[in-house]
A and B are shown apart, each in its own frame.
Chain A
Amino acid sequence: MQDAVLAMLAKEPSHGYHLHARLRRSLGPLGESMNRGQIYVTLARLERAGLVVCERADGLPERPERKVYALTPAGQQRVAAWLAEVGWPKPDLAEFHLKLAAAAAARLADPVELVAAQRRELLRRLREAQQAALAEPAGSGAGLLLEGVVLRLQADLRWLDACERAWSRVDDEVEGA
């Protein structure tokens, strides 16, 4: 979030409310829960870190004076470094994988049932994301983001199918022995 807010300031110095509006536009329905307070908290942190400076601008007659935020040279460097970065969020599959193994070893729960419960949860999320994606007009930026969410959930669901097959086989072997 910090990096994204910082990078938006690379276009031009901005008010907090303007940044909030731009973020909301890019995220569409995914950003509905975001409030303006989060932006101001982020901007305050960036200011303390010396990455942005805050100037008071003359307000319009009907509006009070507003703060305008701008990148410092250090902020500009950080934006450049962020753009060049190829880091990628790692899906946390190991935790679920270990949950299945531990549940089976301790006979605490049936791994096949755990997979089924997880599958139901992901399908509900997929349904929600897909309905939102289909409601977006063609060419919408938020639609593209939602498509990414949908594709990841789909990949996770396929992995759960593989988990189900593997743990069902373990069951069959135990029964057969």
Chain B
Amino acid sequence: MNVSSAAVRACGLVKTHGQGQSRVRAVDQVDLEVPQGQMLAVMGPSGCGKSTLLHLLGGLERPTDGEVWVAGRRIDTLSERALARMRRRSVGFIFQAFHLVEELSAAENVELPALLAGRSRRQARRRASLLLERVGLADRAWHLPSQLSGGQRQRVAVARALVNEPLVVLADEPTGNLDTTATLEALRIFEELRTAGQTLVIVTHDERVAATADRLVSMRDGMFVDDARLAGSPTRGLGGLIGLEG
């Protein structure tokens, strides 16, 4: 495989928690390659290690064993400072609980990572307003998170994740706290990101979120048990879905 074509790559990835008898292998010998532009969903029951895997890929946690590469660069051996810089520049995170700064407006939340990455105030502001418009929140830019619905907050978080034009966006149960309507809005946004060619790894329980992906891996007890390509498969046409043909 061509290493440089992969946005994210992991080999022999292991993460153990705890000591001695209570030692648990949260991630157990995982090999993974996410090519640029691919949208990958990871599904599995709670405790299967999928969130830990996401944290390892994004450099939020360090593996016990194995390697992680982002944008052709090995990241598990980086210093804390270099790792933080890599995260700011190359990775966008979306969390289940949004993790917005409550004291800052929607626009300021989106601007923050851009300012931390060294962009000018003006650049950051322009980028934030562009992204808030893209997620349909241009008219809510100056609202505080507490004045927004769950779905709107998650859309702010999506805009924030995109502000530094990351190579890859990592999303951990992005619809876990959303109602049906807000989930549909989120699906629309993920579908749009997929069409735009954004590399994306989403950990999810929700079949509908998983179905927006090009590829789906299933995890059990820290290991991959299935790897399915959802995109580009021959289908019998939509009519087949309601029994009109096929």
Contacts and interface: CB of A to CB of B under 8 A. Distances in A.
A131 B238 CA distance: 11
A7 B240 CA distance: 23
B207 interface: yes
A116 B241 contact: no
Contact of B241 (A34, A119, A129, A134): A129
Interface residues of B, number: 26
Contact of A154 (B207, B235, B237): B207
B210 A123 contact: yes
A44 interface: no
Given A125-B235, A132-B238, A34 B244 contact: yes
Contacts of A22: none
A150 B212 CA distance: 12
Contacts of B226: 116, 119-120
B244 A127 contact: no
A149 B237 CA distance: 14
Contact of B208 (A125, A132, A154): A154
B238 A123 contact: no
Interface residues of A, number: 28
B210 A131 contact: no
A156 to B, nearest CB: 9
B216 interface: yes
Contacts of B211: 123, 126-127, 130
Contacts of B225: 116
A173 interface: no
Given A33-B239, A123-B216, A134 B208 contact: no
Contacts of A132: 238
Given A126-B208, A127-B211, A134 B242 contact: no
B139 interface: no
A29 interface: yes
Interface in A131-167: 131-132, 134, 145, 149-150, 153-154, 157-158
A136 B124 CA distance: 34
Interface in B197-241: 207-208, 210-213, 216, 218, 225-226, 228, 230-231, 233, 235, 237-241
Nearest to A145: B242
A128 interface: yes
Contacts of A32: 237-239
A116, A126, A149: residue with the most chain B Cβ atoms closer than 10 Å: A126
B207 A157 contact: yes
Nearest to A1: B244
A129 B235 CA distance: 11
Contacts of B218: 116
A31 interface: yes
A63 interface: no
Contact of B239 (A34, A130, A158): A34
B134 interface: no
Interface string B180-206: 000000011001000000000000000
A3 B29 CA distance: 57
B245 interface: yes
B188 A124 contact: no
Contact of A158 (B207, B216, B233, B242): B207
